[in-house]
Amino acid sequence: MAETACILAGEHQQVILPNITAGCSMADMAPIQDVEDGWEDLQNVLGDHGGIVPVTYMNSVAAIKALCGRNGGAVCTSSNAAAVLKWAFQDADRVLFLPDQHLGRNTALKLGIGLDEMVVWNPFKAMGGNTPEQLRAAKMVLWQGHCSVHTRFTPKQIDSARERYPDVTVLVHPECTRETVEAADMDGSTEFIRKAINEAPAGSVWAVGTEISLVNRLAKNNPDKTVFCLDPVSCPCSTMYRITRPTCCGRWKAWSPERW
């Protein structure tokens, strides 16, 4: 995010990253050299079989954003991922979606693309672990990256939340796995989650599957509602939290055992 802020900053602005090792473990799953190799392989195998456009999620390194720009692609957020995919499919038969396979899969499913039209690109295998035929038949090529925080949320946790709070609404981020998104009542971007809970009626109960600091902030700002994290033992994002002062005890208060 600091890197992106730096790209967007004007001449008169400075971007300060308090800890240079802070980052995103999901972004680290798509190193530029691997992506460039994969992109070249895809060009070779697809050849005359229709175009492919690269689309990367905001949580990726600047070099990948640049690769997308150079090749007619785009950068998306979780809020506009569906709109960007629709745009990409206007001119291409396929999309290479980086680096989060779950956001790519969940968004594509909402657009009516079937699981049988998606393949996962494993950068540790030749051709991403796919045959040329599979790649030619695919509409979505999903880079094998994931968010270590959001993939902790599970359908079992959703069942537990519903057992404890029969009136609960389960709201998760689309970086969660497909199984979790399908088991939830709602899913949406950070902005969607924020808006849904802030505008919810007093007394409503929300189990939220996203990064703990956002859940805690929502719980604090909505004292007339019950808001708790879907994962009762969730840890904060270890890479992102490198810029945060170590004040864990206070941080856990909003969702600790009294509420969960």
Q: Edge-to-edge, what's the strand order for the sheet holding 74-76?
A: 74-76, 52-57, 94-98, 140-143, 118-121
Tell me how far, at minimum, the Cβ of 36 lies from ligand SF4, in Å.
Answer: 22
x/- mask, ligand SF4, residues 195-214, rule CB under 6 A, reads ----------------x---
Nearer to ligand SF4, 57 or 206 (CB): 57
Going through the chain in order, the beta strands assigned E by DSSP cover 52-57, 74-76, 94-98, 118-121, 140-143, 169-172, 186-187, 205-209, 226-229
The residue to which tokens 């856990």 are assigned: 252
Tell me how far, at minimum, the Cβ of 22 lies from ligand SF4, in Å.
Answer: 9
Among 3, 17, 25, 251, binds ligand SF4 (CB under 6 A): 25
What does the block give as tokens for 47? 């050849």
Residue closest to 207 by CA, chosen among 147, 149, 157: 157
Q: Judged by CB under 6 A, does residue 148 bind ligand SF4?
A: yes
Nearer to ligand SF4, 211 or 231 (CB): 211
Tell me how far, at minimum, the Cβ of 59 lies from ligand SF4, in Å.
Answer: 5
The CA distance from 201 to 216, in Å, is 18
Tell me how far, at minimum, the Cβ of 109 lies from ligand SF4, in Å.
Answer: 20
How many helices (H) and strands (E) the chain has is answered by: 12, 9
Nearer to ligand SF4, 24 or 68 (CB): 24
The answer to whether the Cα torsion of 110, 115, 117, 121 is positive or negative is positive
Nearer to ligand SF4, 108 or 215 (CB): 215
End-to-end CA distance of the chain: 32
Q: Judged by CB under 6 A, does residue 244 bind ligand SF4?
A: no
Among 88, 237, 254, 255, binds ligand SF4 (CB under 6 A): 237
8 A C-beta contact, residue 13 and residue 4: no
Nearer to ligand SF4, 1 or 127 (CB): 1
Q: Judged by CB under 6 A, does residue 171 bind ligand SF4?
A: no
Q: Judged by CB under 6 A, does residue 169 bind ligand SF4?
A: no
Name the phi and psi angles at 143, rounded to 5.
-60, 140
Summarize as ranges the residues that interact with ligand SF4 (CB under 6 A): 24-26, 59, 147-150, 211, 237, 239-240
